[in-house]
Amino acid sequence: MVGPPRQCASLGWYTGVNGKRARMRRLASVGLTQPGWAVAQNFLVLQRVMIGVPATRYAKSGDVRVACQVTGTGPVDLVWAPGTASRLDLDWEWQAKARFLARLGAFSRLIRFDKRGTGLSDRPNRIATLEERTDDIRAVMDAAGSKQAAIFGMSEGSSMACVFAATYPDRTRSLVIWGGQARWVQTADYRWGLTPEDDERMIRDLEETGVTLDYVLGPGAGLGAEADPASVQSLMRYAQAAASPAAFAALERMNALIDVREILPTIRVPTLVLNRRGDPIAHVDAARDLASRIPGARFVEVPGDTHELYAIDPDRVLAVIEEFLTGSAAVTSSERVLATIVFIDLVGSTEGAAALGDAGWSDLLARYYGAAEREVRGYNGAIVDRAGDGLLATFDGPARAVRCASAIRKRATGLGLQVRAGIHSGEIEKRDGAIRGIAVHTAARIGGLARAGEVLVSGTVKDLVAGSRIEFENRCTHYLKGIPEPRQLYALGGWTGD
């Protein structure tokens, strides 16, 4: 299928030295290159908000402390899931953004955070996975005393917002997405986003020079070639303070792996998707495609040729969001959730029982199941069933599920046993202590294809653990019994460490 024109060409992001010089001359003509310019522009807004700047607090998410701020007194809790990088304290120095946040706080209790690795949050030596980012939303809500909130996914933050809404429908009042796509780099079956070559070029530039004018106008922030100089200056300073060049490069490399297409149909909360008609990053048709995959989602197209939320007619955008949040009751069912399903079977149990006798085999099984149950609890999973030679468990994160299956395999090997495991992520229905749904059948079929000692996962699981350093080997494309579409399957290879 022929896709839209390459977005980078329309903005001239990599058009050579002459193009960069022309843009610099334009910016210099309005004094943008002078260091004191931003100070003068921001002085009045700093005067207005300095007294009311909220305290930055820290939520504990695993071993990481996530910086967060709470503002506003509205009736609805609203969690802001930021884009690639953010910096809480500088939000109040960016005049357009500060005004927008204050307006959101008029009809919500706004909970914002810097995701791990950026801004004021801890900066571990590796970039967070999508699963860890989702955990951070939960940790921030807990720290803010929020039992249920609307989740606002901003740009790349839309990915973690969607995963959170699907995984924790009981804690998600509703979902709002601005400038989001299901993935950010083109593939054979996805025509929007950067080409792999342009994405790699952007990442190399970030590694070498950090955030540049080209990145802000083009593939990074998408302000557009005609952006207001004040917005360009604010965002340049903001981005350079939010993350280091190496961190930006690693974040963009991680973002290139994200693909939430299979997660979107499992979202069961009221959803609003907004996108500008000429957004140079999130193509309007890609945003419309994302909305079409979420049951009942409402799509709103707004005017403008920029990715920025605050640049053009922000009051119109705020009015749509306010009506959606305050005029829509939360309609959720915690019985249907996104989960990762793990089937683990013992291999050669008949032979083992014959060799050890009934008493010896029963004792060995008791030790194995005791160890397996401890591992499941240790990885925050839940055992659904333990019948015969099999174990069925669910997890709220795919990386935890994969690591748990690997740990159980190791425990089994230590007892002289062999296991095989099948893992898949999808929507399940919980009822009377049991789970059901096509995702459960898919995981069972995958487990049936696994070899002795093998942990076999679906392509969905592989996509969701991108950036976790878990390594997989391409196994096969297989038609699973009862599943209409073929599934790409991968065998767990290990991981490179944390």
pLDDT for 297-318, tens place per residue?
Answer: 999 999 999 998 988 888 889 9
Q: What is the pTM of this model?
A: 0.78
pLDDT at position 386, please? Answer: 82
Q: How far is it, in rounded angstroms, from Cα 268 to Cα 299? A: 16
Q: How far is it, in rounded angstroms, from Cα 342 to Cα 401? A: 7
pLDDT at position 229, please? Answer: 82
Q: Convert the pLDDT of each residue in 315-352 to its tens digit.
A: 889 999 999 999 844 444 457 889 999 999 998 877 76
CB 134 within 8 A of CB 473: no
- The segment(s) of the chain belonging to CATH 3.40.50.1820 are 7-327
Q: Convert the pLDDT of each residue in 124-182 to its tens digit.
A: 888 888 899 999 999 999 999 999 999 999 999 999 999 999 999 999 999 999 999 99
CB 458 within 8 A of CB 425: yes
Q: Convert the pLDDT of each residue in 458-492 to its tens digit.
A: 999 999 998 788 999 998 887 777 676 788 899 99
CB 442 within 8 A of CB 426: yes
**Tokens matching residue 326:** 């305050």
Q: How far is it, in rounded angstroms, from Cα 361 to Cα 356? A: 6
Amino acid at 17: V
Residue positions counted in the chain: 498
Q: Convert the pLDDT of each residue in 265-297 to its tens digit.
A: 999 999 999 999 999 999 999 999 999 999 999
CB 205 within 8 A of CB 246: no
Closest to 408 measured CA to CA, from 360, 370, 441:
370
Q: Convert the pLDDT of each residue in 56-115 to its tens digit.
A: 999 999 999 999 999 998 899 999 999 999 999 999 988 888 989 999 999 999 999 999
Write down the H helix ranges in 415-474. Answer: 438-449, 459-464
What is the gyration radius of the CA atoms in the chain, in angstroms? 24
DSSP 106: T
CB 330 within 8 A of CB 174: yes
Q: How far is it, in rounded angstroms, from Cα 53 to Cα 102? A: 11
pLDDT at position 14, please? Answer: 34
Mean pLDDT over each residue of the chain, to the nearest integer = 85
CB 181 within 8 A of CB 274: no
Closest to 494 measured CA to CA, from 474, 473, 479:
473
- The segment(s) of the chain belonging to CATH 3.30.70.1230 are 336-495
Burial of 3 (0-12, 13-18, 19+ CB in 10 A): middle
Strands 390-395 and 382-385: antiparallel
pLDDT at position 482, please? Answer: 67
Please state the φ and ψ torsions of residue 274, each to the nearest 5 degrees.
-120, 145
Closest to 388 measured CA to CA, from 342, 343, 346:
346
Q: How far is it, in rounded angstroms, from Cα 233 to Cα 120? A: 21
Those residues with Cβ within 8 angstroms of residue 481's Cβ, 6 or more apart along the chain or in another chain: 445
Classify 408 as helix, strand or coil.
Answer: helix
For the chain, give the percent of residues with pLDDT over 90. 60
CB 109 within 8 A of CB 70: yes
Q: How far is it, in rounded angstroms, from Cα 289 to Cα 6? A: 18
Looking at CATH, the fold of the domain delimited by 7-327 is given as Rossmann fold (3.40.50)
108-113, strands of its sheet edge to edge: 57-61, 64-71, 108-113, 76-81, 149-154, 172-178, 271-276, 298-302
Q: Which residue has tokens 């986003």? A: 193
CB 77 within 8 A of CB 108: yes
Strands 470-478 and 172-178: unpaired
pLDDT at position 466, please? Answer: 85
Classify 240 as helix, strand or coil.
Answer: helix
Looking at CATH, the fold of the domain delimited by 336-495 is given as Alpha-Beta Plaits (3.30.70)
Q: Is the pLDDT of residue 16 over 60?
A: no
pLDDT band of residue 440 (cuts 50, 70, 90) is: very high
Closest to 150 measured CA to CA, from 323, 338, 337:
323
Q: Is the pLDDT of residue 51 over 90?
A: no
pLDDT at position 334, please? Answer: 52
